[in-house]
Amino acid sequence: MHSVLEMNAQLIGLVGIVIISWGVLLATIRFIMLEARRFGGINTCQSREVLRHHLGSYLLLGLEFLVAADIIHTVLRPSMEELVILGGLVAIRTVLNLSLNRELAGHSCPVDQMEK
């Protein structure tokens, strides 16, 4: 049972890493496209802000999975080191979440509509 939960935690952590990596890849591609437009004289400031919000959403979702994996690890091996790691991840996620939510609330355009 212990090894099944450990494998489950590793899989959940891997999913979190994949989500973050995917978000970074998409954001990088979109950023390069926006910079090409900017060099062509087109104002991309608003699209770049939307891109930041999209990337932030991927980071938050990935961190949620990483926190879930660390919770399972901590339950399986409760130690001070595991608790400190879990506390750090939860703190980072909370700060990112508050920051992103504050930015999204003040955002003037719908997040899902990037300039084409």
pLDDT in tens, 15-67: 999 999 999 999 999 999 999 998 888 888 888 888 988 898 898 889 889 88
Q: What is the pTM of this model?
A: 0.76
For every residue of the chain, DSSP letters joined together read -HHHHHHHHHHHHHHHHHHHHHHHHHHHHHHHHHHHHHHTT---HHHHHHHHHHHHHHHHHHHHHHHHHHHHHHHHS--HHHHHHHHHHHHHHHHHHHHHHHHHHT-SS-TT----
